[in-house]
Amino acid sequence: MDIKNEVLYRVYFLLFGIVVPAAILLLYRTVQISIVQGDTWREQGENNYVRYKEIPADRGNIFSSDGSLLATSIPYFDLYFDPVAPNERDFNLYIDSLAYCWATYIDDTYTVGGLRDHLIRLRQDSTNRHLMIKRKVSYAEKKFIESFPLFRLGQFRGGVIAEQRSDRRRPFGVLAQRTIGYVREGAKPVGIEGYFEPYLQGDPGGLYMICVDRKKDIWLPLQDLSAIDPTPGDDVITTIDINVQDIVENALLRALNYHEAEWGTAVLMEVKSGAIKAIANLGKSQEGWWETYNHAVGTSVEPGSTFKLASMMAMLEDGFVRLEDSIDIEKGKTQFYEDVMVDSSPESEEIDTTTVRQVFQMSSNVGMAKLVNQAYGGQGDAARFIRRLQQFNLHIPTGIEIEGEAAPYIKEAYSQKDRWSGTTLPWMAIGYESRVTPLQLLTFYNAVANNGTMMQPYLVSGIQRNGEELETFRPTVVKRKIASERTIRLAQELLAGVVLEGTAKKLFTDRYSFAGKTGTAQTNYRRLSAERTRIGGYRASFIGYFPAENPVYSCIVVIHNPRAHGYYGSDVAGPVFREIADKTYFATLDIHEPVNTQPKPKLATAQLPSYDFGQRQDIRNVMEYLDLPVYGAPTTDLVMLRAKTDSVFMDKKTLFRGQVPNVTGLGLKDALYVLENLGLQVDVQGVGKVALQSIRPGTAAQRQRIKLTLQ
Tens-digit pLDDT profile for residues 23-69: 777 777 777 766 766 666 555 555 556 666 666 778 889 999 988 98
Task: Please say which residue of 237, 254, 272 terminates a domain.
Answer: 237
Contact 205, 135 (CB under 8 A): no
What's the pLDDT score for residue 14?
Answer: 67
* CATH code, domain carrying 570: 3.40.710.10
Amino acid at 657: R
Task: Please say which residue of 237, 256, 275 terminates a domain.
Answer: 237
What's the pLDDT score for residue 228?
Answer: 67
181 and 281 part of one domain: no
309 and 407 part of one domain: yes
Contact 560, 588 (CB under 8 A): no
Residue 628 has pLDDT above 50, yes or no: yes
255 and 145 part of one domain: no
37 and 184 part of one domain: no
User: Phi, psi (5° rounding) for residue 50?
Assistant: -120, 130
Residue 645 has pLDDT above 80, yes or no: no
DSSP state at residue 657: T
What's the pLDDT score for residue 13?
Answer: 66
What's the pLDDT score for residue 640?
Answer: 74
SS3 698: coil
580 and 675 part of one domain: no
Quote the mean pLDDT of the chain: 86
Count the residues in the chain.
711
Structural domain of residue 6, as residue ranges? 2-47
599 located within any domain: no
Range 494-530 burial, b when 16+ CB lie within 10 A, else e: bbbbbbeebbbeebeeeeebbbbbbbbbbeeeeeeee
Task: Kindly report which listed range (122-126, 460-464, 585-589, 641-645) carries the lowest average pLDDT score.
Answer: 641-645
97 located within any domain: yes
Residue 229 has pLDDT above 50, yes or no: yes
569 located within any domain: yes
212 and 344 part of one domain: no
88 and 231 part of one domain: yes
SS3 173: coil
Extended beta strands in 345-459, E state? 353-355, 454-455
Tens-digit pLDDT profile for residues 73-82: 887 888 888 8
Residue 111 has pLDDT above 80, yes or no: yes
361 and 461 part of one domain: yes
Residue 582 has pLDDT above 60, yes or no: yes
> Where does the pLDDT of residue 590 fall: very low under 50, low under 70, confident under 90, or very high at 90 and above?
confident
149 located within any domain: yes
Residue 11 has pLDDT above 70, yes or no: no
> Where does the pLDDT of residue 224 fall: very low under 50, low under 70, confident under 90, or very high at 90 and above?
very low
Residue 406 has pLDDT above 60, yes or no: yes
Q: How many other CB atoms sit within 10 Å of the CB of residue 245?
A: 24
Tens-digit pLDDT profile for residues 303-325: 999 999 999 999 999 999 999 99
Q: To which H or E segment does residue 366 belong?
A: helix 365-376
> Where does the pLDDT of residue 606 fall: very low under 50, low under 70, confident under 90, or very high at 90 and above?
low
Residue 677 has pLDDT above 80, yes or no: yes
The rounded distance, in Å, linking the Cα atoms of 352 and 356 is 13
698 and 671 part of one domain: yes
The rounded distance, in Å, linking the Cα atoms of 200 and 193 is 7
Could you write out the DSSP letters of every residue in 251-271? HHHHHHHHHT-SEEEEEEEET
501 located within any domain: yes
Task: Please say which residue of 179, 210, 237 terminates a domain.
Answer: 237
Each as own residue / partner, the long-range contacts of residues 331-339 (CB below 8 Å, 24 or more positions apart, any chain) are 332/364, 332/366, 333/366, 334/366, 334/369, 334/370, 335/530, 336/369, 336/373, 336/422, 336/423, 336/426, 336/427, 337/421, 337/422, 337/423, 338/530, 339/423, 339/527, 339/530
The rounded distance, in Å, linking the Cα atoms of 473 and 239 is 10
> Where does the pLDDT of residue 221 fall: very low under 50, low under 70, confident under 90, or very high at 90 and above?
low
Task: Kindly report which listed range (32-41, 586-595, 680-689) carries the lowest average pLDDT score.
Answer: 32-41
pTM above 0.75, yes or no: no
> Where does the pLDDT of residue 235 fall: very low under 50, low under 70, confident under 90, or very high at 90 and above?
very high
> Where does the pLDDT of residue 599 fall: very low under 50, low under 70, confident under 90, or very high at 90 and above?
low
Number of structural domains the chain divides into? 4
* CATH code, domain carrying 193: 3.90.1310.10
Tens-digit pLDDT profile for residues 373-400: 999 987 668 999 999 999 999 999 999 9
Query: What Rg do the C-alpha atoms of the chain give, in angstroms?
Result: 41
Tens-digit pLDDT profile for residues 494-505: 999 999 999 999
SS3 691: strand
15 located within any domain: yes
593 located within any domain: no
Residue 586 has pLDDT above 70, yes or no: yes
* Average pLDDT estimate for 337-352: 84
Contact 377, 414 (CB under 8 A): no
User: For residue 346, what are the contacts with CB-CB under 8 A and spacing of at least 6?
Assistant: none
Strand 690-693 and strand 681-686: the pairing is unpaired
> Where does the pLDDT of residue 266 fall: very low under 50, low under 70, confident under 90, or very high at 90 and above?
very high
594 located within any domain: no
615 and 576 part of one domain: no
Q: How many other CB atoms sit within 10 Å of the CB of residue 456?
A: 17
584 and 654 part of one domain: no
Residue 121 has pLDDT above 90, yes or no: no
What's the pLDDT score for residue 51?
Answer: 63
What's the pLDDT score for residue 389?
Answer: 97
> Where does the pLDDT of residue 553 fall: very low under 50, low under 70, confident under 90, or very high at 90 and above?
very high
Task: Kindly report which listed range (8-12, 251-255, 282-286, 449-453) carries the lowest average pLDDT score.
Answer: 8-12
Contact 261, 147 (CB under 8 A): no
Contact 373, 405 (CB under 8 A): no
What's the pLDDT score for residue 578?
Answer: 97
> Where does the pLDDT of residue 19 fall: very low under 50, low under 70, confident under 90, or very high at 90 and above?
low
Contact 77, 139 (CB under 8 A): yes
Tens-digit pLDDT profile for residues 422-479: 899 999 999 999 999 999 999 999 999 999 999 999 999 999 998 889 999 999 999 9
154 and 270 part of one domain: no
Could you tell me the CA-to-CA distances from 614 to 644, 649, 693, 699 in Å, in that order? 19, 14, 16, 21
Residue 232 has pLDDT above 50, yes or no: yes
